[in-house]
């Protein structure tokens, strides 16, 4: 019965979009990598046996979330949503990895991914790579008791085998060690480098601004970062959602003619996209006076609930359209309502989560059914179906960092 309802809903939506002239271009997203289960390049068969027998590795509990690319390396994060995740930051080599069930190699090492000491990488959802090859990593999934380490921002030098460049621990008034959820980030190469980070915490949601030069972080909290009740109900595959999920997607524009950049963000269960100039929020004095709120701008209405968003060097924003099993594209210079669906496939694109750009003009999106993993009440499936896919398509542009 549920299934029938869902199919009708799906075709209604599809019909609706056809009427509005959407879906007229096929961007040809193809499957680049796919997994039934995640598995790793273990140091030895004995290590693998030990990890299985001690439940350090529970294959069905591992789900990939964040993806980013540097040269031939594809980085994949695996947040510790559940037990049995042996590494939270991993890499595969695009030149040699197999396309089906490629093994993941912990990055920069197995020991750096150890959960037993707080200097190690604990639970990572997202990362970004700046134009110098420094990876900015948010180690801040703190929605369970699997780690008690405070959330942190970690900078690794990808040109030096992931050498640790810097680590910054967030105080609890910025992100909670119990209940914080550093979700996604963008970086800006200005005044020594800034990161803008969404904290999807159900307790204290907001956007964190981090200045590398000042080595300080501050947090923006605003109603625009909360969920909207009208967007709380939607369905993906066989699961109906009735949740309030705050600020999640975050994207940075290329430079405007004034040399400024605009930050875009949205709550997961919301239909409103917001923006703010980064020069407003980089000034901590504006935070203290509250005057920054005058610059928060509602941009328009989104096509559906979205998770990850990303902008390329030509000012095109890409959206993950969760209940539509697809990807939308909008040029920042046009009205948001002109968003086009450039991909839709309910078979391969079950919960498109986030994006990555390579240097050769390909846009990647990961689809990971993350709702089956993140909710402790759900049971991850054990079967031979493909569960995770990285899809790619040629767009001919690079990320916002190069625009
Ligand atoms: C995981 O990979 C190792 C090689 O690193 C292999 O020996 C093992 O059989 C694999 N396990 C599963 C469940 O695929
Ligand atoms: C974490 O542990 C604390 C204290 O034992 C408990 O109150 C809390 O409910 C736990 N949280 C989760 C998400 O399990
Ligand atoms: C969603 O949850 C709210 C509060 O928990 C409840 O009042 C409402 O009836 C629910 N809606 C649906 C469609 O399940």
pLDDT at residue 23, as a whole number = 37
Q: What CA–CA distance (Å, rounded) separates 298 from 276? A: 9
pLDDT at residue 19, as a whole number = 29
DSSP 258-312: TS--EEEEEESS-SEEEEEEHHHHT-HHHHHHTGGGGG-EEEEE-SS-EEEEEEB
CB atoms within 10 A of CB 328: 23
- Torsion angle in degrees (nearest 10) through CA of 211, 216, 221, 225: 40
pLDDT at residue 22, as a whole number = 36
Structural domains in the chain, sorted by start: 7-402 (2.120.10.30)
| Residue 14, pLDDT above cutoff 70 | no
Measure Cα distances from 283 to 191, 213, 218, 231 in Å.
11, 13, 10, 32
Query: Cis before residue 298, ω within 30 degrees of 0?
Result: no
pLDDT at residue 196, as a whole number = 99
252 band by pLDDT with thresholds 50, 70 and 90: very high
Residue among 301, 306, 299, 310 nearest 337 (CA):
301
Q: Is the CB of 24 under 6 A from ligand 3?
A: no
The beta strands (E) that lie in 312-374 are given as 316-321, 326-331, 340-344, 352-357, 362-367
Query: Tokens at residue 150, please?
Result: 């405070």
Report the mean per-residue pLDDT for the chain. 93
Give the strand pairing for 206-211 and 194-199.
antiparallel
pLDDT at residue 238, as a whole number = 85
15 band by pLDDT with thresholds 50, 70 and 90: very low
Q: How far is the CA of 232 from the centre of ligand 3 (A)?
A: 9
Q: How far is the CA of 47 from the centre of ligand 1 (A)?
A: 11
123: exposed, middle or buried (C-beta count within 10 Å: 0-12, 13-18, 19+)?
A: buried
The residue whose CA is least distant from atom 7 of ligand 3 is 242
Give the position, in ligand 3's atom list, of the atom nearest the Cα of 240: 14
The arithmetic mean of pLDDT across residues 208-227, rounded, is 98
3-state DSSP helix/strand/coil % of the chain, to nearest 5: 15, 35, 45
The residue whose CA is least distant from atom 9 of ligand 3 is 242
CB atoms within 10 A of CB 9: 13
Q: What CA–CA distance (Å, rounded) separates 44 from 110? A: 12
The arithmetic mean of pLDDT across residues 56-70, rounded, is 98
Q: Is the CB of 145 under 6 A from ligand 2?
A: yes
pLDDT at residue 16, as a whole number = 32
pLDDT at residue 27, as a whole number = 66
Q: How far is the CA of 365 from the centre of ligand 1 (A)?
A: 26
CB atoms within 10 A of CB 110: 17
- pLDDT single digits (tens) 141-175: 999 999 999 999 999 999 999 999 999 999 999 99
Q: In the beta sheet, which residues pair with residue 35? A: 388
Q: Helix, strand, or coil here: 266? A: strand
The residue whose CA is least distant from atom 10 of ligand 3 is 242
- Count of all residues that appear for the chain in the document: 403
Q: Which ligand is nearest to the CA of 242?
A: 3
Per mean pLDDT, which range of 11-15, 30-34, 242-246, 369-373 is the poorest? 11-15
Give the strand pairing for 388-394 and 326-331.
unpaired
Q: What CA–CA distance (Å, rounded) separates 216 from 226? A: 24
Q: Is the CB of 144 under 6 A from ligand 2?
A: yes
The residue whose CA is least distant from atom 5 of ligand 2 is 145
The arithmetic mean of pLDDT across residues 239-245, rounded, is 95
Q: Which ligand is nearest to the CA of 234?
A: 3
Q: What percentage of the chain exceeds 90 in pLDDT?
A: 92
Instruction: State which of 242, 244, 245 you would mutate to test the pocket of ligand 3, scoring each by most atoms of that ligand within 8 A of its C-beta.
Output: 242
Q: Which residue has the tokens 């004034």?
A: 258
CB 263 within 8 A of CB 276: yes
Strands lying side by side in the sheet with 388-394: 30-35, 388-394, 362-367, 352-357
CB 271 within 8 A of CB 280: no
59 band by pLDDT with thresholds 50, 70 and 90: very high
pLDDT at residue 381, as a whole number = 96
Chain centre distance of CA 201? 15
Q: Which helix (H) or strand (E) holds 272?
A: strand 272-277
Query: Tokens at residue 139, please?
Result: 């180690």
pLDDT at residue 115, as a whole number = 92
- pLDDT single digits (tens) 84-121: 999 999 999 999 999 999 999 999 999 999 999 999 99
- pLDDT single digits (tens) 300-345: 999 999 999 999 999 999 999 999 999 999 999 999 999 999 999 9
Give the position, in ligand 1's atom list, of the atom nearest the Cα of 41: 5
The pTM for the full model equals 0.92
Q: How far is the CA of 145 from the centre of ligand 2 (A)?
A: 6
Q: How far is the CA of 125 from the centre of ligand 1 (A)?
A: 24
Q: Is the CB of 377 under 6 A from ligand 2?
A: no
Residue among 86, 87, 66 nearest 138 (CA):
66
CB 261 within 8 A of CB 250: no
The residue whose CA is least distant from atom 10 of ligand 2 is 145
């Amino acid at each position: 019965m549920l299934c029938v309802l869902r199919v009708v809903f799906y075709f209604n939506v599809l019909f609706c979009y056809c009427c509005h002239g959407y879906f007229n271009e096929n961007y040809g997203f193809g499957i680049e990598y796919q997994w039934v289960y995640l598995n790793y390049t273990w140091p030895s068969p004995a290590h693998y046996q030990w990890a299985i027998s001690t439940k350090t590795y529970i294959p069905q509990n591992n789900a990939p979330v964040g993806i980013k690319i540097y040269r031939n390396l594809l980085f994949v994060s695996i947040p510790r949503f559940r037990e049995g995740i042996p590494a939270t930051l991993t890499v595969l080599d695009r030149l040699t990895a197999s396309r089906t069930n490629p093994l993941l190699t912990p990055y920069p090492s197995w020991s750096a991914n150890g959960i037993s000491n707080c200097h190690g990488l604990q639970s990572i959802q997202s990362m970004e790579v700046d134009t110098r090859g420094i990876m900015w990593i948010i180690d801040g999934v703190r929605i369970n008791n699997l780690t008690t380490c405070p959330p942190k921002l970690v900078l690794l030098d990808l040109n030096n085998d992931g050498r640790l460049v810097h680590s910054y621990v967030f105080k609890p008034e910025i992100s909670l060690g119990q209940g914080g959820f550093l979700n996604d980030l963008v970086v800006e190469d200005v005044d020594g480098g800034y990161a803008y980070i969404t904290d999807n915490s159900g307790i204290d949601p907001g956007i964190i601004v981090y200045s590398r030069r000042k080595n300080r972080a501050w947090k923006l909290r605003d109603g625009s970062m909360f969920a909207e009740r009208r967007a709380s109900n939607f369905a993906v595959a066989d699961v109906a959602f009735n949740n309030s999920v705050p600020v999640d997607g975050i994207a940075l524009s290329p430079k405007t003619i004034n040399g400024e950049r605009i930050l875009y963000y949205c709550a997961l269960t919301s239909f409103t996209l917001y923006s703010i100039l980064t020069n407003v929020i980089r000034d901590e004095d504006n935070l203290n006076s509250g005057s920054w709120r005058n610059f928060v701008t509602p941009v328009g209405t989104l096509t559906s609930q979205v998770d990850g968003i990303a902008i390329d060097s030509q000012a095109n924003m890409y959206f993950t359209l969760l209940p539509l099993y697809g990807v939308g594209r909008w040029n920042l210079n046009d009205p948001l309502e002109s968003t086009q669906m450039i991909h839709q496939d309910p078979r391969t694109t079950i919960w498109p989560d986030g994006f990555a750009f390579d240097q050769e003009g390909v846009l990647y999106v990961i689809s990971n059914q993350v709702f089956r993993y993140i909710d402790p009440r759900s049971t991850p499936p054990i079967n031979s179906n493909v569960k995770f896919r990285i899809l790619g398509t040629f767009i001919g542009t690079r990320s916002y960092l190069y625009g």
